[in-house]
Structure 1
Amino acid sequence: MTPAPRASTADSELVTSPLVIMAVRPDGFEGVWAVSRLSRGRLEWRTDDGEGEARMDAFGMTPQGDHVLRVRTEGFRPGATVQVRAVTDAVAAPGAQHVSAWKTVRLADGSAESARIAVWNDTHQRDDTIRALDAQTPAVDLLVWNGDLCNDWTTPGEFVSTVLSPAQRDISADRPLEVTIGNHDVRGDWAFQLQDYVAMRDGRPFSAVRIGPVACVFLHTGEDKPDAHPTFRGRVAFEPLRAEQAHWLREEIARPEIRDAPYRLVFCHIPLRWTDETPADYDRDGYDWFSRMSRDAWHDALVAWGAQLIVSGHTHEPALIPADATFPYAQVVAGGPDLDAASPEAATWIDVRADPEALRLEMRTLDGALVLAETLTPSESVRPFSGWRSPGATRSGRGGAPTPPRR
């Protein structure tokens, strides 16, 4: 169904990034895009059930900003295919408008038989590496950018080119984006602004979603040194954030779609296990190769849930640490930022494919060489999953919005 044409004045300089699709959910997603000056924005959408707009923020205002716009959609059917585009209007120049191209988004559906997930990590603002990753990575249900997008946020103008338009690419085309936060992503005087450019499902830097047979939990491992370390100058408070995630995790793993998933993956930037767990000497420039503080906070809940695999980056050194009696979850660690596949810190990408028989994970360098592989069988504690209750039919017509599910 094509919306009626409207008169507008195109402004090619008003919008400075693609429309980036983030934080996909069973009932919606968020669209994030950058602007060059004070603007208002909305999303127009169309599905087989109708068409409408998303144009309100949490406080009842039209979404607006002078650097970035974010709009949340909700109320769709799980697994629905949604076409969406962003409409941006300049506040100080009536009639100056930018309308993006249509993008297609498939929403999360926990009752789907299969899932495909790709993982990048530790790109560190390396445009050559990002271009190669973008060329290698196929269309997937979810692209997890697993931390250390940047080096440090020392200037305020790098968020758009790093997060929303890295290497001038539209990396969320045909693959909704999920960002987990790495230790370099929280460094620098301007790091506090990252949250303006990264959409999260519930407004916090941790969440969970079911993609077909795979329950995905995304956690924030914080920094690689204690909060009181002098290099942080009082800027961080990750110890209480880890405690908050521990409380949230105990509740989240009780949700039926997460509790009963055949496959149970955790994505976090700093590994929870490592090959050498000698304590770091922070007074002599030591840092954590694995996050003991995070593991101590979350281990019991992960074991109770039956977590099968932790997927991380951080070390720039690929590794597969099998599950054992003490840690019944395996740990996969991916590579670094280098384009050269022969480098000790060569970039890798991870391809996860799951179906009723198995979940298969493959890690490859950018020349296609297989680094490691892991196969999981369905958890023994799987229960039948009937899916989410349908939110009902959407309203049709311009200005309509999906009918949200009752809670």
Structure 2
Amino acid sequence: MVETKRRGFLATAFGGVAVGGLASKAKGQGGSGATTGLVTSPPVVMAPRGDGVEIAWSVSRLSLGWVELKTAEGSKYLAQNGWGFMPQGEKVLRARLDGLKPGTSYRYRVVTEAAEGSALRVESEWREFRTLDPGSSSSRFVVWNDTHDNGETLKALDAATPAADFLLWNGDANKNKWTSEELIVPTLLNPGGTDFTAKRPLAFSWGNHDVRGEYGFQVSDYIAMPEGRPYYAMRSGPLAAVVLNTGEDKADEHPSFKGRVAFDALRREQVVWFEREVLGRPEFRDAPYRVVFCHLPLRWIDDGLQRTFDMFSARSQVLWHEMLVKWGTQVVISGHIHCAGKIEANAEFPYAQITGGGPTLDQATWIDGVADSKCLRLKVNALTGETRIEMEFPPIVNLQPE
């Protein structure tokens, strides 16, 4: 679907009383059309943690909002931005929820009010999310990659992908590059017109196209990270998941970037963080299953062949390989090449490499990961229902000295 048609579809979808699962109630002055136009995306549950999540939703004008949780004692009001203000903004509102219980389902709704002009208020329907459970005996996660704003593929992926502890969107959500800030909401908060976090919270991994273009620097205003950095670690049951940022697929000095990027420094920064946070914290260091997610592969079949763009991130590999081996990484899950594939572990690289598919219906895949007491099972599934790749990994013991 061309860009103008896609925008027209979104405007039509948001013109009624429901917005991708966001049921609106009008209060105060103004008609229902004006009120529902205040909120332009479903609530997106992202950055899952054992003690909370962050919820983002887009608005059409200067607004303020909050999140309400439904508890046994009644509704609990929650809103936080860390600076003493209610969540406010002209384009997006974000509310970070802290202090919640691990492995617990919460009923919630988001409330939005216009901050100027007519007294408009929009209340979403009551919805549900579940916090991560580090103490669980099992975990299920799902992975998308390289969707490139293909609406048809996104709808099919959302329909095919089951509920899970988290959805790891492994980069290249953007079609090509960010030429306008207005592209960000339909691409990241309402992709393909779907309410895609209704069944699984979003954990985002940055791809090279997600940082590209004049407005790439603004993506972080819309997408939350658990600790405010574009790399992080999560513990879900027996699984430790580390999300690393491979940056661009060309050198920082490439003329197409026009001096906008500095990913060499970011790659080095992640080494320091990994040594401190992943190797230094028992919940990650000693996990039975150890998986790394990053958009660009760290290995590929043509490791010695670099084109005008990188098929794999040699810049990341040379910096990160030693720390990944030290941790006992079992598998690196990536995208980028638009082809489902795998490389088994060997003596030089004791971690396997898996890649997911591409943006078209015939290329697209979703990865199903299940970790329990017996093994970590990974299946790379096509939209036809075919399983293209299967791998299993046994639980491992602590590789670090006591």
TM more than 0.5: yes
Alignment of 1:256-275 (within 5 A): 256-275=282-301
- 2:226 corresponds to which residue? 201
Letter in 1 for 2:128: T
CA distance in 2, matches of 1:50, 1:300: 51
Indicate the residue corresponding to 2:123 in structure 1: 99
Q: Which amino acid aligns with 1:23?
A: A
Say yes or no: does 1:373 pair with 2:398: no
Write the deviation string for residues 7-47 of structure 1: whole angstroms up to 9, x where unpaired: 93362111000000000101011000000000001111124
Partner of 1:235: 260
SS at match of 1:24: strand
SS of residue in 1 equivalent to 2:48: coil
State the partner residue of 2:247. 222
* Alpha-carbon distance, 1:147 to partner: 0.2
Q: Offset at 1:230?
A: 1.1
Query: Which protein, 1 or 2, shows the higher relative CO under an 8 Å CA cutoff with sep ≥ 6?
Result: 1
Task: Give the whole-Å Cα distance in 2 for the aligned partners of 1:382 and 1:213.
Answer: 15
Query: What amino acid maps onto 1:252 in structure 2?
Result: E
Provide the residue aligned with 2:44 in structure 1.
20
Helix, strand or coil at the partner of 1:69? strand
Bigger Cα displacement from structure 2, 62-71 vs 251-260: 251-260
Mean Cα displacement is larger for which, 194-203 or 271-280? 271-280
The one of 348, 358, 377 aligned to 1:360? 377
Q: AA paired with 2:195? A: D
SS of 1:209 mapped into structure 2: strand
User: Cα deviation per residue 1:49-71 (whole Å; 9 max; x = unaligned)?
Assistant: 76422223121111100000001
Structure 1 stretches of 5 or more lacking a match?
1-5, 384-407
Conserved? CA contact 1:47–1:80, under 8 Å: no
Q: Does 1:212 align with 2:229?
A: no
Paired residue for 2:210, among 168, 175, 185?
185
Partner residue, 2:5 = none
Does residue 170 (structure 1) correspond to residue 192 (structure 2)? The answer is: no
Write the distance in 2 (CA, Å) between the matches of 1:35 and 1:50.
Answer: 27
Higher helix share: 2
Q: CA RMSD in A?
A: 1.6
SS of equivalent to 1:324:
coil
> Counterpart of 1:396?
none
Aligned length: 369
Give the TM-score of the pair, scaled to structure 1. 0.88
1:278: Cα distance to partner?
Answer: 1.8
Task: Supply the distance in 2 between the matched residues of 1:291 and 1:371 (Cα, whole angstroms).
Answer: 24
Give the secondary-structure state (helix, strand or coil) at the position aligned to 1:144. Answer: strand
List structure 1 runs of 4+ shifted beyond 6 angstroms: none
Deviates more, 1:6-15 or 1:167-176: 6-15
- Calculate percent identity across the aligned residue pairs: 48
Q: 1:304 to 1:48 in 2, by over 3 A?
A: farther
1:73 aligns with 2:97: yes
| Cα distance between partner residues in 1 of 2:77 and 2:399 | 38
Give me the whole-angstrom Cα distance separating, in 2, the residues matched to 1:48 and 1:332: 44
TM-aligned CA deviation for residue 299 of structure 1: 1.3
Q: Distance in 2 between matches of 1:374 and 1:334?
A: 13
- Give the Cα–Cα distance (whole angstroms) in 1 for the partners of residues 393 and 58 of structure 2: 40
Q: Which runs of 5+ in 2 are unaligned?
A: 1-24
